[in-house]
Amino acid sequence: MADGGLVRSAGGVVLRPQEVLLIRVSDIKGRPVWSFPKGRLDAGETPAQAALREVLEETGWNCRIEADLSTTEYWFQREGRRFRKTVVWFKMTPLELTGVPDGEVEEVQWVERMKALRRLTYASDAALLSQALGLDDRAR
């Protein structure tokens, strides 16, 4: 299997006082995945610029970055090629709903923070939300 290289992405954990903004997409096998908005950096774009753009495109929310979060890394396969993906994450505050989700996202939903920790599909996303909320794993 050929290696396809590095994919650089950025995304946002969007928080309001009691809720977090989640998106639902389908994985390659058609299973639902609850996660956070994220996407690839465009040419010449910083991770912060990409994160704000992707959150707007995928959720319709214009946001402000409040803090840097961690960077996650994982491998995925597409068309017989392996890719290493890094995602730079930012903690965000919503400012205004200015659009509608693009076609990549099946559902956008504000979810109570503790329910969101249980709804997220991947443990790495739950850890990211815990970090954004200032929790440790024992708080779940």
Using one digit for the tens of pLDDT, what is the confidence trace for 29-50? Answer: 899 999 999 999 999 999 999 9
Q: Which domains does the chain have, with CATH numbers?
A: 2-135 (3.90.79.10)
pTM across the whole model: 0.89
Beta partners for residue 97, in sequence order: 61
Q: Answer for the pair 32, 22: CB distance below 8 angstroms, yes or no.
A: no
Here the tokens at position 20 are 């977090």
> Residue 45 class from Cβ within 10 Å (0-12 exposed, 13-18 middle, 19+ buried)?
middle
Percent pLDDT > 70 in the chain is 94
